[in-house]
Amino acid sequence: MHEIDIPQAIVDLAVQRRGRLRLFEHVDPQRTAHLIIDMQVGFTTPGAPAEISNAVAIIENVNTLSAACREAGVLNIFVQNTIDDESKSTWSNWFEAFWTPEKRVGMYATFAEGSPGHALHPSIETEDSDLRINKYRFGAFIKDTSDAHALLTSRGIDTLIITGCATNICCESTARDAMMLNYRVFFVCDATATHTDAEHNGTLATMLLTFADVINVEDMTSMLTA
């Protein structure tokens, strides 16, 4: 689990800007969705091409929050990183410039839909009431990456709770775009994970200051049950 340490200067600036630390004091469960980002075998298995070793440590917290969401009537949506032939072509810069040829081939095999690496980690708890969607870029909301925005707006959802991995890549990308699409965003600091504490805390600082209400599992759960 990451050691959370948001610089006090960032906290002070956030409070100075808006007059309070907590952005949102309540949630309407019927208008809220919990996005669980990329908690897949390909990110949580030692030695996998895209291994994020800290992701395993947040599984219990993710499950706790998912259960609280179900109890409150909040929709859980498991978002899965996916690579297909189209994304290999239209996002070739990412695959060809940022990965060695060997690791690139491993990524393709790991995150093809239906592959073992594409599946959710076996310790992630799901129910029939939960949804699953694929995404083909870091964020879930850019054009053609997934049908998340259409799905959420069709259900009248305007508030998002974000957990999963990686904190500073797919979770952050999703949260940034969600806020700019006018969603209220909760970013759960102890149910997100990445490679290092420095990366994790850098994103939490950015989220707190500009994009989301940074909250822990205990406080988020309390808000859901209030």
**Catalytic residue numbers?**
38, 135, 170
Neighbours of 147 (CB within 10 A): 13
Contact 137, 169 (CB under 8 A): no
Residue tagged 């995150």 (tokens): 111
Closest CA to 76 of 182, 139, 23, 155: 155
Q: Is 91 exposed, middle or buried (0-12, 13-18, 19+ CB in 10 A)?
A: middle
Q: Please provide residue 17's backbone torsions phi and psi, each rounded to the nearest 5 degrees.
A: -70, -45
| CA–CA distances in Å: residue 39 to residues 5, 50, 119, 202 | 23, 12, 8, 21
